[in-house]
Structure 1
């Protein structure tokens, strides 16, 4: 989390809610203290929440497909393209540690079961439709033995897919979330995994979106209430991989 001063935290809080200092409740219970305490809590890594056991983990690679990652694609996420090489290396390290890799490719239905195409011109024009080039997983990510999910129709990778069944059949209760976009499919999948009783590891440097502010906001939420948030170096160190 980018460091912010006390004044910056309070200023952003007041600006967001249209307040000035005179409107802050400072009686026996201080609103200023509540805001500052919350900011500190969002920044706290909860690495003691659960132990990471490689034999219980599965790597979920979300929507690292041509339609999002290829340079100049219709819904291009530049940081997703940039993080492709380290994600490929991380996935290989996971495979070597006995961690299965499951990949999703978002594939929208026509007519769509939700309003997603109404929010995205590229989706409405078929970027992720049946037989579109945008469905293909980026080269180097998908290896023999991985499991590919092509029935992902919305942000949550569990909804309408066999992801839950595939994880449980492998005896995996910890999901490592990577891919794109941080604040859409990665966050939706992490929340859904949490609600299903999975331990969630959310990779700070192997998830990507198009606005840094949204990436950081998701990490804050994940860190405070859903997941252990860490980068790839911390994760590999934790499972004993140099």
Structure 2
């Protein structure tokens, strides 16, 4: 079991957007959507969100966004690696505003409430890079951060590393994150996260 104090904790949910956690997301081919379905990650995270809300823990959604006005220039300069491959291959002139809104939206199951906070990051993995996430958490007087979202070994891990570097107590909910494969998931959960904080399932989390 992992015990945390609800009055000094925030729940950060990373990149829980349609582009990565919906079957019609342009990043569905990465595998996180399939993994999330197989492991019941979405439903477990819904319960974790409800648990946090019941203890008045602030919910912070970190979402990745793209600036459509400069996307052509950005995609031309992106490195030819797998993470950016879907963007490099997309013809943004054929994407309607409605489709763009769908891809960037938080999945329906996690629909943010009015009291929730949303932090937007542009073209980066870490939720702390060039955002006001650190200022928000400090203003909330939180020293402990819970983590959920996708992709476990990419944007979630980068954000956890950012939190660790800033001195926060980090707790990763192992059943509320989804990776591109079992191997990638297990390495992050078993090797990386224990060096940066604590790891537990949502059922193992005790809020005091």
Instruction: State the TM-score, normalizing by the size of structure 2.
Output: 0.81
Deviation at 1:72, TM superposition (A): 3.7
Larger Rg: 1
Is 1:102 the counterpart of 2:60? The answer is: yes
> Per-residue displacement from partner, 1:80-112 (whole Å, max 9, x unpaired)?
344212212211210110100000221134244
Q: Which of the residues 72, 80, 84 maps onto 2:42?
A: 84
> Per-residue displacement from partner, 1:43-82 (whole Å, max 9, x unpaired)?
xx9x6xxx62111110000011110111242211212344
What is the aligned partner in structure 1 of residue 22 from structure 2?
Answer: 70
Larger fraction in strand: 2
Q: 1:126 to 1:144 in 2, by over 3 A?
A: farther
What is the aligned partner in structure 1 of residue 120 from structure 2?
Answer: 150
Preserved CA contact (<8 Å) 2:121 2:129? no
Cα RMSD (Å) of the superposition?
2.5
Preserved CA contact (<8 Å) 2:13 2:60? yes
Gap runs ≥5 in structure 1: 1-44
> Per-residue displacement from partner, 1:101-126 (whole Å, max 9, x unpaired)?
00022113424498467433222227
Write the mapping of 1:222-233 to structure 2, written as runs, cut at 5 A: 222-233=192-203
Q: 1:126 to 1:230 in 2, by over 3 A?
A: farther
Instruction: State the TM-score, normalizing by the size of structure 1.
Output: 0.71
How many residues were matched structurally? Answer: 189
Runs of 4+ more than 4 Å apart:
none
Q: 1:64 to 1:177 in 2, by over 3 A?
A: same
Is 1:135 the counterpart of 2:104? The answer is: yes
- 3-state SS of the aligned residue for 1:161? coil
Q: Structure 2: how far apart are the matches of 1:130 and 1:201? A: 38
Preserved CA contact (<8 Å) 1:62 1:105? yes
What is the aligned partner in structure 2 of residue 11 from structure 1?
Answer: none
